[in-house]
């Protein structure tokens, strides 16, 4: 079976229907104990210092074969529109290194026909059809419902930590490359959670923006008496949208389109989940940092913007800012 690397969430149903294994390169990069070294390796290969750490990690994880999780990556689906324009050059440096890449573009204006065409082209490139994709979708819909239940337990029953909420939802980009094992893990987690004690943190936070490059962000917030009960982009990756039409499903998914669609989703969840404040994570050198202006203008809730560059623990200055923000909310 072919291992297909992905640079962000793509219609994973197509990869699975074609009989391939999806591998979210972000997840294997950030969970590696060598994450920092992957960034350095990309800089040694000539990647500029002032380029996003995620892009550098994605480069090294594919090109440095010995850094892969055993089986390597055979091809990469690179999202050239809707995620990050640096992916254009990332794709080109993959090609330079002899890695086959398949471009995928989310149409900025959410055009149904253009999105459908992109999905059809991806099916052609991987070798599958609508019927097979629809069958996989029905299977994944059931799994997505279970992950949506983990999310509900987080904000409504208060029995799931912010980190686990993040982890299970973010994993839905590739279902940890193993559907059966992931589903068993989700089932076991749901069983365990049924008897879990309620969290009693006094502050309820939302986390918006791309997933953080700091692995200890969620535990740190919890030691300070605050819990993340809404993970915006991770929840989008998990796609809790009820629709039979897979094109519509990827059209409802807010992340790859304009910020105003995201804002509508965030506003609804602030209300529904009764949030006290929001942490907006931005990645150094990312164009999405500019959107902080719009989010601050449009969202009527206290926002702390924190910035991460390289993988590693939260630095002292960011901790100080978090402490002050939580104090402000109290």
Partner 1 sequence: MQCGIDLGSRSVKLVIMNPGTKQLAAANVYETARFYREYGQRTDKGLAVDFGALGLPAVTSLTATGYGRNTIAIVGATIIPELKAHMLGASYQTGLTDFTLLDLGGQDSKVIKVRKGRMVDFQTNDKCAASTGRYLENMAAVLDISLAELADYSENPVELSATCAIFGESELIGRMVEGYTTAELAAGVNYSIYKRIKPMLSALKSDKIVFTGGVALGSAIKTFITREMGAEVIVPEHPQLNGAIGCAVYKADK
CB of 98 closer than 8 Å to CB of 74? no
Distance in Å, CB of 283 to partner 1, minimum: 13
Distance CA 232, CA 246 (A): 21
Site for partner 1 in 269-308 (CB under 8 A): 302, 307
Of the ranges 58-66, 88-96, 161-169, 317-325, which one interacts with partner 1 (CB under 8 A)?
317-325
How many residues in the shown chain lie near partner 1 by CB under 8 A?
Answer: 13
Q: Is 328 in the site for partner 1 (CB under 8 A)?
A: yes
Q: Is 319 in the site for partner 1 (CB under 8 A)?
A: yes
Distance in Å, CB of 324 to partner 1, minimum: 4
Of the ranges 46-54, 72-80, 112-120, 320-328, which one interacts with partner 1 (CB under 8 A)?
320-328
Q: Closer to partner 1 at the Cβ: 92 or 323?
A: 323
Distance CA 208, CA 230 (A): 8
- Give the other-Cβ count within 10 Å of 252's Cβ: 18
Q: Is 316 in the site for partner 1 (CB under 8 A)?
A: yes
Distance CA 237, CA 8 (A): 9
Assign residue 280 a region: left if phi > 0, alpha if psi is -120 to 50, beta otherwise?
beta
CB of 278 closer than 8 Å to CB of 271? no
Q: Is 310 in the site for partner 1 (CB under 8 A)?
A: no
Of the ranges 101-109, 138-146, 214-222, 313-321, which one interacts with partner 1 (CB under 8 A)?
313-321
Q: Is 313 in the site for partner 1 (CB under 8 A)?
A: no
Distance in Å, CB of 282 to partner 1, minimum: 11
Q: Is 264 in the site for partner 1 (CB under 8 A)?
A: no
- Biggest alpha carbon–alpha carbon distance for the chain: 55
Site string for partner 1, 76-95 (x = CB under 8 A): --------------------
Distances in Å between the Cα of 32 and the Cα atoms of 64, 69, 167 are 13, 9, 15
- Angle (CA) 258-262-265 rounded to 5° is 150
Distance CA 240, CA 144 (A): 6
The binding site for partner 1 (CB under 8 A) comprises: 302, 307, 309, 316-317, 319-321, 323-325, 327-328
């Amino acid at each position: 079976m072919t291992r297909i690397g992905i640079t962000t969430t793509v219609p994973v149903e197509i990869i699975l229907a074609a009989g391939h294994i999806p591998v979210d390169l972000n997840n294997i990069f950030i969970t590696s104990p060598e994450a920092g070294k992957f960034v350095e390796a990309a800089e040694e290969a000539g990647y500029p210092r002032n380029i996003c750490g995620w892009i550098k990690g994605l480069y090294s994880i594919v090109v440095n074969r010995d850094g892969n999780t055993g089986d390597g990556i055979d091809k990469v689906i690179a999202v050239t529109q809707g995620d990050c324009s640096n992916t254009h050059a990332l794709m080109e440096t993959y090609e330079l290194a002899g890695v086959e890449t398949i471009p995928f573009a989310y149409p900025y204006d959410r055009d149904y026909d253009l999105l459908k065409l992109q999905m059809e082209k991806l099916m052609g490139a991987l070798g599958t059809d609508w019927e097979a994709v629809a069958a996989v979708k029905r299977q994944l819909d059931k799994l997505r419902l279970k992950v949506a239940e983990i999310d509900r337990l987080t904000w409504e029953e208060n029995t799931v930590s912010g980190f686990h909420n993040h982890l299970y939802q973010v994993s839905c980009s590739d279902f940890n490359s193993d559907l059966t094992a992931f589903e068993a893990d989700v089932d076991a987690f749901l069983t365990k959670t049924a008897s879990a004690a309620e969290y009693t943190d006094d502050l309820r936070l939302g986390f918006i923006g791309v997933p953080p490059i700091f692995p200890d962000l969620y535990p740190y917030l919890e030691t300070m008496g605050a819990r993340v009960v809404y993970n915006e982009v991770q929840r989008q990756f998990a796609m809790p949208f009820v629709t039979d039409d897979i094109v519509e499903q990827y059209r409802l998914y807010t992340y790859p389109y304009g910020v105003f669609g995201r804002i509508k989703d965030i506003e609804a969840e602030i209300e529904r989940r009764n949030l006290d404040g929001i942490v907006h994570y931005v990645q150094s050198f990312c164009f999405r940092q500019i959107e902080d202006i719009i989010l601050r203008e449009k969202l009527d809730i206290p926002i702390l913007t924190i910035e991460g560059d390289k993988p590693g623990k939260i630095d002292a200055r960011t901790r100080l800012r978090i402490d002050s923000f939580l104090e402000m909310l109290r």
